[in-house]
Amino acid sequence: MGDGKESVVLFPFMGQGHIIPFLALALHIEQTNSTDCAIYFVNTPLNVRKLKSSLPPNSSIRFLEIPFSSITHGLPPASENADTLPYHLVMRLFQASASLEFKSSFMEAIHNLTIHNHGRPPLCIISDIFLGWTATLAKELGVYHAIFSGAGGFGLACYYSLWFDLPHRKVSTDEFSLPDFEEASIVLHRTQLPANIAEADGEDDWSIFHRENLSAWVDSDWLLFNTVEEFDQIGLSYFRRKFPGAIVRPIGPLVLELKSRDRIGNTTGEVTREAILKWLDSKPSNSVLYVSFGSMNTISASQMMQLGKALEGSGKNFIWVVRPPIGVDINSEFKAEEWLPEGFEERNKASGRGLLVQKWAPQVEILSHRAASAFLSHCGWNSVMESLSQGVPMLGWALAGEQFFNVKFLEEEVGACVEVGRGKQSEVKSEDIERKIKWVMEETEKGKEMRRNAEKVKEIIDKAWKHGDGSSVKSVHDFLTAAKQLIV
């Protein structure tokens, strides 16, 4: 600390799906650092430890640790990341992240950074959508601030519109519209609501958290999104209307391509990255279906059984990142004989057709391999961006948060996705999943159209990242320049 450079502070929420795009942003700023700033990444000690080991050895990114006692917040010992928590405890992590104790620790970290920087406060703070209070704090300190959303514009607009308005509580029908999101004429079905929104009554913990959090966004100077303008305009216009005082700009997709990124994940599986890539090398081009439900979610045992049957029935090559089903501790032993069709693992090993990877796989490398054909995904936004930036069409199975709206957007607006499942408890049928896998991966009209649409998005993305005049590259640069001008 204290080398007199301007400092850019990045602060993601404690969950892999949040940390990953922030890390990608930090590395992007580092690589294109025309303003020669020092980059500080803020998080809790356990997350920082993991992150340190995942950075390239020559990286100049520095870390600021916020002390965190999980036990004080009613969490199990050493729980600092949403990925290691069962769903019913996740709210406590959210509450901890908005607690007075946490806020003052962050404040102290900024204060110390300022002292070490000869009294010069940070150039800017870029923080997570769930850490809205940092905007208020930055305003008080006179520091330039941006909220950076790892989620896309459309999905997040639906999500926040629902939290603010709870329109489903005002009607008795299964289908309802989102009057607050007037830029889109959306009709949602109750089954497309994440559990916490479906159960919200305006006074529950989630409603209170989101209301307070989103209200604080008005104090932010910029809202940055991990998306691309041409592709996600409707969602971005929602935020432009809601936050007229802020500059809303897409800066995506920020895809983290670190070879060592799997170290950030919960790698315990016996199938190594090298083995996965070698397996892919042995397969024909466009022949492999990649199946993964992100860093936090898993499906039920009966859904796993149906998915297993569908994968075998489809006759396609596949890589499936498996985790114990809902209700079973994520760290417990994987019992293929209980949760998958009888003999599934052995048959697929013997035929070489399917690869089961436990917990964590090098996703970006898999999706960018020439053998990848389609991605069956929960449609978390990082996964969406990673897939479409390779022109890989998707089979959507949303499980939580704004994923339901991402699937809707990708299927109805973009045409690069087909829905195969909805939620963690819904009944899914292997024949239905199998049929859709074939649609997408074979030479059907639907498959061809989806591939064409995914390819179109890839072109939009490539353009946004073109050095020189790419819109996303330019937005990051413009934000840093605006922050600089403020203090000159």
Output the smallest distance, CB 262 to ligand UDP, in A. Answer: 6
Residue among 223, 296, 326, 376 that touches ligand UDP (CB under 6 A): 296
Among 174-182, 273-281, 375-383, 421-429, which window interacts with ligand UDP (CB under 6 A)?
375-383
* Distance, CA of 298 to CA of 334 (rounded, Å): 13
Output the smallest distance, CB 256 to ligand UDP, in A. Answer: 6
Q: How many CB atoms lie within 10 A of CB 245?
A: 9
Among 137-145, 194-202, 219-227, 294-302, which window interacts with ligand UDP (CB under 6 A)?
294-302
Residue among 43, 358, 382, 389 that touches ligand UDP (CB under 6 A): 382
Residue 54 binds ligand UDP, judged by CB under 6 A: no
Among 242-250, 356-364, 458-466, 477-485, which window interacts with ligand UDP (CB under 6 A)?
356-364
Pairing verdict, β 7-11 and 38-43: parallel
Residue 383 binds ligand UDP, judged by CB under 6 A: yes
Residue 17 binds ligand UDP, judged by CB under 6 A: yes
123 in Cβ contact with 483 (< 8 Å):
yes
The residues that bridge with 64 in the sheet, in sequence order, are: 42
Residue among 6, 183, 229, 386 that touches ligand UDP (CB under 6 A): 386
- What's the helix, strand, coil split of the chain in %, to 5? 50, 15, 35
Residue 79 binds ligand UDP, judged by CB under 6 A: no
Task: Write the DSSP string, 431-456.
Answer: HHHHHHHHHHHTT-HHHHHHHHHHHH
145 in Cβ contact with 121 (< 8 Å):
no
Token pair listed for 174: 């299964």
Output the smallest distance, CB 90 to ligand UDP, in A. Answer: 12
DSSP secondary structure letter of residue 203: S
Residue 360 binds ligand UDP, judged by CB under 6 A: yes
Q: Could you tell me which residues come within 8 angstroms of residue 72 by beta carbon, excluding any fewer than 6 positions away?
A: 96, 101
Among 128-136, 193-201, 271-279, 378-386, which window interacts with ligand UDP (CB under 6 A)?
378-386
User: What's the residue count for the chain?
Assistant: 488
By C-beta, is 121 or 294 nearer to ligand UDP?
Answer: 294
Residue 47 binds ligand UDP, judged by CB under 6 A: no
Report the interhelical angle of 16-31 vs 471-487 (nearest 10°): 80
Output the smallest distance, CB 172 to ligand UDP, in A. Answer: 32
The residues that bridge with 145 in the sheet, in sequence order, are: 125
Among 202-210, 343-351, 376-384, 452-460, which window interacts with ligand UDP (CB under 6 A)?
376-384
Token pair listed for 127: 């923080």
Q: Could you tell me which residues come within 8 angstroms of residue 23 by beta carbon, excluding any fewer than 6 positions away?
A: 12, 41, 51, 54, 256, 258, 264
Output the smallest distance, CB 81 to ligand UDP, in A. Answer: 11
* Distance between first and last Cα of the chain: 22
By C-beta, is 137 or 321 nearer to ligand UDP?
Answer: 321
By C-beta, is 21 or 447 nearer to ligand UDP?
Answer: 21
Q: How many CB atoms lie within 10 A of CB 65?
A: 16
Token pair listed for 5: 């450079």
Residue among 361, 374, 416, 417 that touches ligand UDP (CB under 6 A): 361
Residue 152 binds ligand UDP, judged by CB under 6 A: no
Residue among 159, 320, 381, 397 that touches ligand UDP (CB under 6 A): 381
Output the smallest distance, CB 156 to ligand UDP, in A. Answer: 12
Phi and psi, residue 238, nearest 5°:
-60, -50
* Distance, CA of 422 to CA of 306 (rounded, Å): 14
Residue among 122, 308, 380, 393 that touches ligand UDP (CB under 6 A): 380
Residue 20 binds ligand UDP, judged by CB under 6 A: yes
Query: How many chain residues are in contact with ligand UDP, going by CB under 6 A?
Result: 20
Applying the rule CB under 6 A, the residues between 228 and 287 that interact with ligand UDP are: 261, 265
Q: Could you tell me which residues come within 8 angstroms of residue 59 by beta carbon, excluding any fewer than 6 positions away?
A: 27, 30
Output the smallest distance, CB 434 to ligand UDP, in A. Answer: 23
The residues that bridge with 292 in the sheet, in sequence order, are: 377
Residue among 289, 299, 321, 420 that touches ligand UDP (CB under 6 A): 321
State the residues that interact with ligand UDP by CB under 6 A.
Answer: 16-17, 20, 261, 265, 292, 294-297, 321, 360-361, 363-364, 380-383, 386
